[in-house]
Copies of this chain bind each other. A is one copy, B any other.
Amino acid sequence: MKRYSNGAMWDSNEDGIPVIDGGDGVVLGVDGGTTSTICVCLAASAVFPDGGLLADPSPVLARAVAGCSNHNSVGEVAARETLEQVMSEALHKSGRSHSAVKAVCLAVSGVNHPTDQQRVVDWLRNVFPSHVKLFVENDAVAALASGTMGKLHGCVLIAGTGSISYGSTEDGREARAAGAGPILGDWGSGYGIAAQALTAVMRAHDGRGPETRLTQDILCELGLGSPEELIGWTYADPSWARIAALVPVVVSSAEAGDPVADKILQNAVVELAASVRAVVQRLGLCGRDGKGSFPLVLVGGILEANRRWDIGREVLNHVTKDFPGAHPIRPKVEPAVGAALLAWNSVRGD
């Protein structure tokens, strides 16, 4: 029995769930985002329908959820505590001990550079024994894997509060575009769309821009009396997710015919498509003639096809004009499962 820095004892299980050790190995997949961190535990011996989706009932043994694990947002100490905790909880729930772990794939936002990656690997190496296979990736990698059943080939576009495009080739080359946060211009993201809508309200109010229905729709949504009050509202809590939560209002305004809202969504589509295009071109995913087939995985609330003004569909229209071989995939499993599949792939041959 070993005690880790978070105080958990992974070989004990206070709830009386039988702890299975030894041959019945598991893999862990972690999707660590700015809003939450999710860990799933898969049986290392799980059998998946070849190339298809996960079997139903899914071989996910357990799932645990914790808070933010982006070290840029909460600092390294807090990020690591969260990661240890969520992995410990998933193992606990699955009735497996720490020594049953065969491989771990940590896909965390904020890992943008090989030095970030190495730092997290070094830390993980202190948590797991040397025979455990460890993978640390940007969270976009897990999102790609969630659409391709763990095969790292193709391009993924994630658009939620933030946005990023990431791609990988079968021979291991990688590329990404956007995903650098709002200061560095992720204007197709949920934050970007909502911030431009707020800007449009201020411009209409002070005479720099055209009148827009966004004014009434956003003030009504926020329960504010005038555009000036938006200044205090944005200062009160500048969290990106709080701003991005206004996207459905922008979509409604556009659906009601507001040209300002419509233009903001059109611009977001162009930005998102440009980030896909940059990745596909750099990796040559479309082949020499530009018509080659490749998976295009679409992930995140902004791309969900649940509205008349369908951002995901419009992005796809833009992308397929350039790359007719783009094969759209909307994953049926969450990115944490994608991360677990990457870990699982690494041990399946053993």
> What string of 1s and 0s marks CB contacts (under 8 Å) between A225-252 and chain B?
0101111101110100001000000000
Asked if A178 lies at the interface with its beta carbon under 8 angstroms from chain B, I say yes
Given A113-B228, A232-B112, the answer on whether A278 and B184 have CB atoms closer than 8 Å is no
Q: How many copies does the complex hold?
A: 2
Closest B residue by C-beta to A177: B206
Determine if A185 and B206 form an interchain contact, defined as CB atoms under 8 angstroms apart. Answer: no
CB under 8 Å from chain B, chain A span 172-198: 175-178, 180-181, 183-185, 195-196, 198
Determine if A198 and B185 form an interchain contact, defined as CB atoms under 8 angstroms apart. Answer: yes
Complex CA–CA separation, A196 to B231 (angstroms): 21
Determine if B235 and A72 form an interchain contact, defined as CB atoms under 8 angstroms apart. Answer: yes
> What string of 1s and 0s marks CB contacts (under 8 Å) between A13-34 and chain B?
0000000000000000000000
User: By DSSP majority rule, is chain A's interface helix, strand, loop, or mixed?
Assistant: helix
Asked if A61 lies at the interface with its beta carbon under 8 angstroms from chain B, I say no
Contact partner, A274, options B175, B196, B199, B208, Cβ 8 Å:
B208
CB distance from A115 to the nearest CB of B (A): 9
Asked if A202 lies at the interface with its beta carbon under 8 angstroms from chain B, I say yes
Neighbouring B residues of A277 by C-beta, 8 Å: 208
Complex CA–CA separation, A177 to B231 (angstroms): 13
Determine if A113 and B229 form an interchain contact, defined as CB atoms under 8 angstroms apart. Answer: yes
Contact partner, A208, options B178, B195, B229, B236, Cβ 8 Å:
B178
Contact partner, A181, options B113, B203, B234, Cβ 8 Å:
B234
CB distance from A228 to the nearest CB of B (A): 5
CB distance from A175 to the nearest CB of B (A): 8
Closest 4 CB pairs of A and B: A185-B199, A207-B278, A177-B206, A72-B235
Contacts A/B (CB < 8 Å), 15 sampled: A110-B235, A112-B231, A112-B232, A175-B207, A176-B206, A177-B207, A178-B202, A178-B206, A180-B202, A180-B230, A184-B199, A185-B199, A185-B202, A207-B279, A208-B275
Excluding A113-B228, A113-B232, A184-B230, 10 further A-B contacts by CB distance (< 8 Å) are A113-B229, A178-B206, A180-B230, A180-B234, A183-B238, A184-B199, A184-B231, A185-B195, A185-B198, A207-B281
